[in-house]
Chain A
Amino acid sequence: MSSPQSQMPQAAPTWQAAPGTSFPSGYTSPIPVVRTHLGNAIASEWTKIKSVRSTMWTLGVFVLLVIGIGTLTGVVVAESDPALDGESPLGLGFFGLLLGSMCIITLGVLTTASEYGTGMIRTTMVACPSRGRVLAAKGVVFFLVAFVVTLVSACLVAFLHVAMLEGDGAKSPTGGEWLKGTVGIAAYVALLGLLSLAVGSIIRHSAGAITIMIGAVLAPLVIALFMFSESLQGVRDALFEYSIPNQLSVFYSNSLSQSGPSGWDPLWIMLGATAVAFAAAFALLEKRDV
């Protein structure tokens, strides 16, 4: 482990070295040299994400929205009569998670874009000149945080709804429904955040990237609403079915439409979109000046 620093340059002078030139050899540090890897970058990003207040804010508001709105919906539905006509109560978590996803989008964007606003990115890239490694580490840390927080919140809300509506004519969810309504939705929302993180790295401007992502969530629905013409029916349906809110609802099998994505499709769609955005972000990061 503790190989002295002086070994490093000797291993390397492939470029050109004048053998035997004795020149005042530079300073040798007592700090051991370690060959760094992705793990170092991940440790660094973990420290970064937990040491700024915006993380606590966005995640705090997220949990509040998911649990708060979930509880409210549960109370309202339980009061009404008949409560749920043989439907799964898990679907009630939809509204909280839809609103909450805005927080995850914000945190995702801030993870990359805010470094450009503050100038931190230059320090980061000087410390870790492998730009791909920096982006990968940010992605890993953010995804895990977003996934865990969403999963815990979604589970809490799901248990809450099932408990509240048990005797109220609601059907008890199957194992598959449980999986989709907790792990599935958490993976989808975390991926949506990861997509935002890549967009933040491409746009390099927090407000701009957040606006783009919120636009991407809402615009298809809004545009579809204004497509009255018969001839646009096909486009209108597609916009509707593939809009992010509708994709979210697919996880509760109460899709707003009959055709379009079903089952686990939304997850694969989001995975594809995120992969494309990451490829673009990697390529641009290598090419551009910091």
Chain B
Amino acid sequence: MSRSSVAGMIELEGLTKRYGEKVAVNNLSFTVRPGIVTGFLGPNGAGKSTTMRMILGLDHPTAGDVRIDGKHYHQLKDPLTYIGALLEAKAWHGGRSAYNHLLCLAQSNGIPRRRVGEVLETVGLTAVAKKKTKGFSMGMGQRLGIAAALLGDPRILMFDEPVNGLDPEGIHWIRTLMKSLAAQGRTVFVSSHLMSEMALTAEHLVVIGQGRLLADTSMADFIARNSRSYVRVRSPHRERLLDVLHQAGVVAVESGEGVLEVDGGKAEHVGELAAQHGLTLHELSPQQASLEEAFMRLTAESVEYHAHSGTSAAPPPPQQQQWGDGWKRG
């Protein structure tokens, strides 16, 4: 799609950030559009927060460009009424009350004072508005950050891991909030490392790993490609079974340890074929690959901080190549 400057677009072009030798963000290009929730996914250290800091003009890009409706962040003179952001780390003075924290933000952008009370109400912090923020729990802190993002009633909202530290009720609340914000026509850009979380909220998906773009796809597309169902079959007569399936026009692939995976096949059909030819089966089970697995496959190669335990979380690499390639842009 052609890049057109309409209200609420975030456009990244070849965005790159280097910290010394370390390339945190590597040549990222994508567009975040209004009216939907765009999920920004990547494992720890992928560069999500760095990208968001560059969008907000906090970090200078080493190369490339990021614009909001065609403008650099520092060109926005009243940025809070344009874009609201929840940053990754706690970003306020613990000795100041929630009310005063929001008040000083409102004043710097000429936002009417009454908005402070309104957003405190929205996030449910009215009762503790005059309390010092250093006593806040993690979830309350997260809500204060969200209140700050909503303060200017902006058309673009950016949340860096908003569900961090929220209880199930809080998670449900933020999910509903993000969807309703997008439904009002706003741009909602939200980072996460949880695919399952994104599957519930995001309509569009941008996946990065080690600073590079791995996927830029609609959620529906991602699900269609990845919620692959297959039948897992084990048999002592593996070779003969393969022949039988092949003759019947059923595609099966070997996936090590004598296991066959029959893509999109019905367990009944495989069982009947085996019975007709008198082949013993040790296992015949329908399987559904989870989105989380698909995400891990996609990013396996670029995961930076592996847990070095015996059981590797990431499935074997051969498949990830073909899986990832399909969504890579350009």
Interface residues of A (CB under 8 A from B): 5-6, 8-9, 12-18, 21, 23-31, 33-36, 40-41, 43-45, 47-48, 51-54, 114-115, 118-130, 289-290
Check A289 against B6 for contact (C-beta < 8 Å).
no
Taking a contact as CB atoms under 8 Å apart, the answer to whether A47 and B104 are in contact is yes
Between A and B, 7 residue pairs with Cβ closer than 8 Å are A9-B70, A13-B70, A26-B156, A29-B155, A122-B91, A129-B74, A130-B74
Number of contacting residues on B, CB 8 A?
Answer: 60
Q: Are A15 and B184 in contact, with the CB atoms below 8 A?
A: no
Q: Is the CB of A127 within 8 A of B81?
A: no
The answer to whether B3 touches A16 (Cβ under 8 A) is yes
Contact status A126-B184, CB under 8 Å: no
Contacts of B110 in A (CB 8 A): 34, 36, 40
Contact of A27 with B186 in the complex, beta carbons under 8 Å: yes
Task: Judge whether B59 and A52 touch: CB under 8 Å.
Answer: no
Known A17-B4, A25-B185, A123-B92; further 4 A-B contacts with Cβ < 8 A? A16-B70, A18-B5, A125-B56, A126-B79
**Is residue B87 contacting chain A, with contact meaning CB distance below 8 A?**
yes
Partner pick for B107 among A23, A40, A120, A290, CB 8 A cutoff: A40
Within residues 106 to 132 of chain B, which ones have a CB less than 8 A from any CB in chain A?
107-112, 115
Interchain CB contact under 8 A, B91 and A119: yes
Contact across chains for B71 and A23 when beta carbons are under 8 A apart: no
Would you call A27 and B104 a contact (CB within 8 A)?
no
Q: In terms of DSSP, what is the predominant structure of the interface of chain B?
A: loop
CB of B15, distance to nearest CB on chain A (Å): 14
Q: Which residues of B contact A290 (CB under 8 A)?
A: 53, 58-59
Quick check: B81 and A25 within 8 Å, CB to CB?
A: no
* Cα–Cα distance between A143 and B69 once the two chains are bound (Å): 38
In the complex the two chains form, what is the Cα distance from A172 to B258 in whole Å? 106
A128 touching B96 by the CB < 8 A rule?
no
Please tell me if the beta carbons of B6 and A25 are within 8 angstroms of each other in the complex: yes
Partner of A125, one of B58, B111, B155: B58
The chain A residue sitting closest to B50, CB to CB, is A289
Q: How many A-B residue pairs have CB under 8 A?
A: 174
Residue contact B67 to A15, C-beta cutoff 8 Å: yes
Contact A15–B93 (Cβ < 8 Å): no
Minimal Cβ-Cβ distance residue in A for B105: A127
Q: A35 to B3, Cβ gap below 8 A?
A: no
Question: Within 8 Å of chain A (Cβ to Cβ): is B64?
Answer: no
B241: min CB distance to chain A, Å:
53
Establish whether residues B77 and A115, one from each chain, have CB atoms under 8 Å apart when the complex forms. no
Closest to B92 in A: A120
B104 touches A51 (CB 8 A): yes
Q: Is B37 an interface residue, CB under 8 A from the partner? A: no
B187 and A16: CB pair below 8 A?
no
Let me know if B35 is at the binding interface, CB within 8 A: yes
Whether A27 pairs with B34 at a CB distance below 8 angstroms is: yes
Whether a CB of chain A sits under 8 angstroms from the CB of B293 is no
Instruction: Pick from A26, A45, A130: contact of B8, CB below 8 A.
Output: A26
A289 close to B60 (CB less than 8 A): yes
Query: A114 to B95, alpha carbons, bound, how many Å?
Result: 11
Q: Is the CB of B69 within 8 A of A127?
A: no
What CA separation (Å) do A191 and B220 show in the bound complex?
Answer: 62
- Chain A residues lying within 8 Å of B60, measured Cβ to Cβ, are 289
B94 CB contacts on chain A under 8 angstroms? 118
Smallest Cβ-Cβ distance to B186: which chain A residue: A27
Cβ A118 vs Cβ B93 within 8 A: yes
Bound Cα distance A119, B145 (Å) = 12
Pick the contact of A9: B69, B89, B187 (CB < 8 A): B69
Asked if A26 and B186 make an inter-chain contact with CB atoms under 8 angstroms apart, the answer reads yes
> Per a CB cutoff under 8 Å, which of B34, B53, B81, B107 touches A26?
B34
Collect the chain B residues with CB atoms within 8 Å of residue A41's CB: 108
Q: In residues 187-235 of chain B, which contact A (Cβ within 8 Å)?
A: 187
B291 interfacial by beta-carbon distance below 8 Å: no
- B96 pairs with A123, CB closer than 8 A: no
The answer to whether A23 touches B69 (Cβ under 8 A) is no
Contact call A126/B85, Cβ cutoff below 8 A? yes
CA–CA, A81 and B71, complex, Å: 74
Which residue from A9, A24, A29, A126 sits with its C-beta under 8 Å from B58? Answer: A126
Contact, CB under 8 Å: A115 / B93:
yes
Query: Does residue B327 face the partner (Cβ distance < 8 Å to A)?
Result: no
The residues of B that contact A126 with a CB separation of less than 8 Å are: 56-58, 79-80, 85, 87
**Once the chains bind, are A31 and B115 in contact (CB under 8 Å)?**
yes
